[in-house]
Each structure stands twice: as structure tokens, then as C-alpha cells.
Amino acid sequence: AQTVTQSQPEMSVQEAETVTLSCTYDTSESDYYLFWYKQPPSRQMILVIRQEAYKQQNATENRFSVNFQKAAKSFSLKISDSQLGDAAMYFCAYKGNDMRFGAGTRLTVKP
Amino acid sequence: DVKVTQSSRYLVKRTGEKVFLECVQDMDHENMFWYRQDPGLGLRLIYFSYDVKMKEKGDIPEGYSVSREKKERFSLILESASTNQTSMYLCASSLLSAPQGETQYFGPGTRLLVL
């Protein structure tokens, strides 16, 4: 079965700085999607960014970008110019035949 | 915007009670999902549904059942609540057709406490 590993339970970043959240996954499938979801405190989980495995180009959404290394099965999220509103739990997710989520990384942003 | 709503934000129940958690989406999505979220474990899939009256077991279906009588509504049922079912429950929906269908839209969650 596919697994998703987020090795950083907690991360901290200074406002306006850059932070990278790590995610690795294990799969034998060739066609799949990868996601980063954000869950702010007491608020709804929302999609941050998605990546199709067949696309070599890394996805970018404003201040959020990914480093997708298919051979290494790595999918890290980079947040540039961090803002106080970026503080949240971040979940890495995999969608192939099954949907899998990592355990999450709690990001704190220091003013 | 896609809207997914859940009937309760907080719920307190007694052991042995039958519990109903309701989820409604307003974007005509075919797929609907129920997850439970626990610290250190992330989200784990309980059940999902690709169509009305259709259901599939996820990774942890034991102690749960579901009902989908209408496309927009997906209910999670705890037949006899137990303390180990104390958790946050998240509902999600998505379109069937790829690639947009791969993105899930989540409800606000129901925090259930079983005493």
C-alpha cells in the first residue's frame, strides 16, 4: 500500500522568510497526483497546491512552490515570504488508486 | 466556490449511542468521503462513495457505516459509539472526472467526544 511520510511534526519560520516542508511517499504506481493541503486552526482544510506525476515541471501557486523529485519519491513544499496567515497544519497527500495523507506538519510563523 | 457543510462542529455522546454525522455538498460532486483525523496519524479514510447508494470501505471501516440516498448528502453512522471513536471527522467531496476530480474539498469537521 502507498504511504506518505512527513518527517517534520513541527516547523517554525520567521515572518518574511522561506521555509520548506518535507514529504516522501512510497508507491509502485506510475500515474498519480500529489497535493499539499493546509488546515488553519479551527478552520476548513484547503488545497494549497497540486502536482500531476506525469508533469516534470514543478507546480507553483504565488508564494507556494513544490520540488517534485519523482525518482526519489519526494514532494517538498516551499513557502516564500512567509506570512502570519500561513500558520497551520500542512498535510501532504497522495492520490493514485488510493488516497493517502501524511501525519502533518504544524507550521508556526513568528512575527 | 464549493461548499461542504457538516451538521455539527462539536458533538458529545455516550458509549453505546447511535451517532449520525451528516455532510452536504452543493457542487454536484459525484465523490464523497469520510475521514477521521487524529494527532500524529493524519487523515485516515473510513468510507467513500462514487455515486448515490454506492459505498466502498476505506482503511478503517470497522464500527462505522454510511448512507448516500441523495447525491449531495453523505452520512456517517456510528452504530454503537465507543470511546476509541473520539476524534475529528472530516467530510470531503470531489468531481469524478480527472484531472479536476483529484482535488478534494473539505467540510469544517465535526469534533466528536464519546464519554
Q: Is the pLDDT of residue A15 over 90?
A: yes
Residue B15 pLDDT = 97
**Residue A19 domain boundaries:** 3-110
Rounded to a whole number of angstroms, the distance from the CA of A56 to the nearest CA of chain B is: 16
Among all chains, which residue has been given the C-alpha cell 497522495?
A94
The pLDDT tens digits of the residues spanning A51-70 come to 999 888 999 999 999 999 99
Buried b (16+ CB within 10 A) or exposed e, B36-71: bbeeeebbebbbbbeeeeebeebeeeeebebbbeeb
Is residue B56 less than 8 Å (CB to CB) from chain A? no
Q: B42 and A104 in contact by Cβ < 8 A?
A: yes
Rounded to a whole number of angstroms, the distance from the CA of B106 to the nearest CA of chain A is: 6
Rounded to a whole number of angstroms, the distance from the CA of A39 to the nearest CA of chain B is: 10
Residue B103 pLDDT = 86
Which of B40, B44, B108 is facing A44, going by the closest CB pair?
A: B108
Is residue B1 less than 8 Å (CB to CB) from chain A? no
Give the rounded percent of residues in chain B with a pLDDT score beyond 90.
81
B71 band by pLDDT with thresholds 50, 70 and 90: very high
Q: Is the pLDDT of residue B25 over 60?
A: yes
Where does residue A107 rank: exposed (0-12), middle (13-18), buried (19+ CB within 10 A)?
buried
* Count of positions (residues) in chain A: 111
| pLDDT mean over A77-97 | 95
Q: Which CATH superfamily is domain B4-114 in?
A: Immunoglobulins (2.60.40.10)
Query: For chain B, which residues make up each domain, given as ranges?
Result: 4-114
The mean pLDDT value of chain A amounts to 94
Residue B2 pLDDT = 65
Residue B95 pLDDT = 84
Domains contained in chain A, number: 1
Type of residue numbered B53: K
Q: B108 and A43 in contact by Cβ < 8 A?
A: yes
The mean pLDDT value of chain B amounts to 92
Is residue A31 less than 8 Å (CB to CB) from chain B? no
Q: What is the CATH number of the domain that holds A102?
A: 2.60.40.10
Which chain A residues touch B101 with a CB distance below 8 Å?
none
The pLDDT tens digits of the residues spanning B53-66 come to 889 999 999 999 99
